[in-house]
Every structure is written in C-alpha cells, then in structure tokens.
Amino acid sequence: MKLNIAVLPGDGIGPEIVAQAQKVMDAVAVKYNHEIVYTNALVGATAIDKVGNPYPDETHEVCMNSDAVLFGAIGDPKYDNDPKAKVRPEQGLLAMRKKLGLYANIRPVTTFPSLLDKSPLRLDIVEGADFVVVRELTGGIYFGEKGRSEDLKKAFDTCTYTTEEIERILKLAFSYAGKRDKRLTVIDKANVLATSRLWRETAQGMEADYKDIEVDYMFVDNAAMQLIQWPKKFDVMVTENMFGDIISDEASVITGSLGLLPSASVGVHTSVFEPIHGSYPQAAGKDIANPIATVLSAAMLLESLDLLEEAKAVRDAVNQSLDAGVVTEDIAKDDNVSKTSEVGDWLANCIKK
Ligand code: IPM
Ligand code: MN
C-alpha cells in the first residue's frame, strides 16, 4: 500500500519526537511492504516565524491531499505572556481543526503496569484504569463570537452548539462505547448552561438507538472529582470542547504517563494524530523528550487506515521497550536513561526483526 502522510512537526520538541515516529513507520513499511511518502509542512510558532501565519494555506493543502497527518506539538513561551500578540501559534491549531472539520478528539487513557508508580494516585486506584475521553473539537466557546467593548473594559466569549454538532460527536462516542465496555458518560453543566441542556436532551433522545449502551450523565465539576477518586468507573466520556480540554488534561496524568499518551482528531477531512503533551520548550533540541506518545499516535494513524497488524507491531515494540527499560529520563527507574533518538532506533529495530 502507498501512504501519503503529512508531517507537521511544529514547535519545541515536535521535530524530535515526530522523527522517531517516522523511523518507526519506516520500519513498518519495510516489514510489511508499504511505501510511505512524507510531505513536511509548517505549523505553529515555526510557521509564524517563517511565513507569518501559524497555519499557512500550503500546509492546509498538504493536509487535505494526504491520507493522514502526523502532528508534533505547537507553542512557544515567547507568546504565552504577551496577551497583546496579534498572531499566536495556538490559532494555527484551531484553524487546522476547523478547516479539516476535526470535530472529535479521541484520547485513550490506558495504564502501563510497569509505570504505575509514576502516577500521583494510589496504585489500587489507577491499576487497570482504561477509558477514552471524546472531546468535541470544533464548536463551543472556542469558536463562538468573542470580543471587547469599545472602552476595553468588558470582554465576552460565547458558547454555541447546534443539535447537528452535538449529534455527530455523540454518535461517535456511542459507537466507541459499543466497541468497548458499553458505558458512556455524558459530561455537561446542564444545571447552569443552555448549551449543556441541549447536549443532555440530544443524548437522551439518542439512547433508544443504542439500547446496549449504559448512559449516565454527570456535571463536569463532579466528573472532575470522580475521575481522580475512581477513574476505573469510566469507560467512554464525551463532552464539549472546553470541558473536554480540561478533563482530558486531568485524565492524562492519572496513569502517570503523560509522555506516553496519544490522540486522534477525526472528522470531515484528513485525520490528525498527535501526542497529547505540548511542545515542552525547555527540552527542545536536547534529545531527551519521550517519543512514545507520538509513536503510539502513529499506531492510531495506522489503525485508522485499517493497518491493524502494523499498528499492533508498533504497540508490541513499545511494550517491549518499556519492559526492557529502554526509556527516556521521564520514566526511567534507574540511571539507565536512553535518548529520544535511541528509543526511536530501538523501536525501529525491534519492528524490523
Ligand atoms: C489542546 C491544547 C489546545 C486546546 C490549545 C493549545 C489551543 O490545549 O489540544 O488540548 O486548548 O485545545
Ligand atoms: Mn488542552
């Protein structure tokens, strides 16, 4: 099979971790006889620096013409403390989501037995936790009308959702739950927000179509608490953009493996696969960042193209590297620390064997 993959390394550690995922995909291509053609494109602060736009039209073209997008990370501290900056790297990510119609962000959270002691939670609470956060990604307060009053003393952001937007993400979440433990938690703030009441109403209306799924509804504040108290109670969680942003960050640290968790953003056009962590600017260029989240994102990418055996080979290699202690400093248990590039090389060799 010939695969056309758009590669958007982005900022900070992005280029280093994406390079490891490419090594791994190349190894898969050799072993399973595929041809992978990569096309690199600019995004984020790097794109602002080079062409003044965090998601240039050329990048969008490359994404539209590819089978999948492998994405690194975006963000640069020089923009974070400048509320007056006119263009920001994050706008590139939001533009990409909107233009590719990526309405669903899927973050599977699984535990790695050998790393459970890295969790901030007690072993008995996290052991065996296994859930997916499905976050709506192109609506809500992120994309609603926003502005400032003339005297600049008032600002507003509007949260809007249509039934259509809610239905399509719920459909996806129901079908995910159907393939898993058949439990779906709809997270909202229906006691306060009109948009949340529409979410709840819409979900309730869909329950009859998915009789085998057990649905429950939870206010977001309560969900944030229960996620820490007993993460094992969740199977699939679905929620709107802003709540999903917060809940999925919270979810990602539960297993102690922030550097190991992948994500997929899917929707109307080409899907995007990226690690859930950020651009980790302090580590940029040092060859120390953990590439596993990006490598597992590549596994999700392969799965999305129905290359299941190939994806399994990647996952098996990752598990073996963890067992063998070929790991970066963030998850190393002793002085035996590997570099980012060494982990990539090891995984690639393991797959080719
Ligand atoms: C994420 C990030 C983005 C978001 C930022 C960088 C705009 O936090 O992907 O979760 O808030 O969606
Ligand atoms: Mn976030």
* Ligand 1 shell residues, CB under 6 Å: 90, 93, 245
pLDDT digit string, tens, across residues 21-54: 999 999 999 999 999 999 999 999 999 999 999 9
Ligand with an atom nearest the CA of residue 43: 1
Ligand 1 mutation pick, 8, 71, 90, max ligand atoms within 8 A of CB: 90
Average confidence score pLDDT of the chain: 95
Residue 135 assigned to a binding site: yes
157 is an active site residue: no
CB 6 within 8 A of CB 272: no
pLDDT digit string, tens, across residues 207-254: 999 999 999 999 999 999 999 999 999 999 999 999 999 999 999 889
210 is an active site residue: no
| pLDDT reported for residue 255 | 86
Find the mean pLDDT for residues 165-172.
Answer: 98
Residue position matching structure tokens 């993959």: 5
pLDDT digit string, tens, across residues 253-291: 898 878 899 999 999 999 999 999 999 999 999 999 999
**Would the ipTM clear 0.90, i.e. be above it?**
yes
pLDDT digit string, tens, across residues 113-150: 888 888 999 999 999 999 999 999 999 999 999 999 99
Of 48, 82, 105, 38, nearest to 272 by C-alpha is: 105
| pLDDT reported for residue 102 | 98
pLDDT digit string, tens, across residues 1-21: 999 999 999 999 999 999 999
Span from the CA of 245 to the centroid of ligand 1 (angstroms): 7
Catalytic residue among 221, 306, 316, 323: 221
- 93: which DSSP letter? H
316 is an active site residue: no
Span from the CA of 9 to the centroid of ligand 1 (angstroms): 16
- Domains of the chain in sequence order: 1-101+277-353 (3.40.718.10), 120-254 (3.40.718.10)
Confidence of residue 184 (pLDDT cuts 50, 70, 90): very high
Catalytic residue among 55, 79, 142, 176: 142
| Residue 82 clears pLDDT 90, i.e. is over it | no
Cα gap 332→270, rounded to integer Å:
35
Residue 107 assigned to a binding site: yes
| Residue 84 clears pLDDT 80, i.e. is over it | no
Cα gap 177→262, rounded to integer Å:
19
Cα gap 121→228, rounded to integer Å:
8
CB 77 within 8 A of CB 281: yes
Confidence of residue 338 (pLDDT cuts 50, 70, 90): very high
CB 155 within 8 A of CB 111: no
| pLDDT reported for residue 115 | 87
Query: Which residue, by CA, sits nearest to atom 1 of ligand 1?
Result: 245
Cα dist. 6→39, 43, 71, 73, 77 in Å?
5, 12, 8, 14, 26
Confidence of residue 72 (pLDDT cuts 50, 70, 90): very high
Element (H, E) at 185: strand 183-188
Span from the CA of 168 to the centroid of ligand 1 (angstroms): 21
| pLDDT reported for residue 164 | 97
pLDDT digit string, tens, across residues 51-69: 999 999 999 999 999 999 9
Q: Model pTM?
A: 0.94
Query: Which residue, by CA, sits nearest to atom 10 of ligand 1?
Result: 245
Cα gap 107→249, rounded to integer Å:
10
Find the mean pLDDT for residues 158-169.
Answer: 98
| pLDDT reported for residue 333 | 85
pLDDT digit string, tens, across residues 307-335: 999 999 999 999 999 999 999 999 998 88
Residue 221 assigned to a binding site: yes
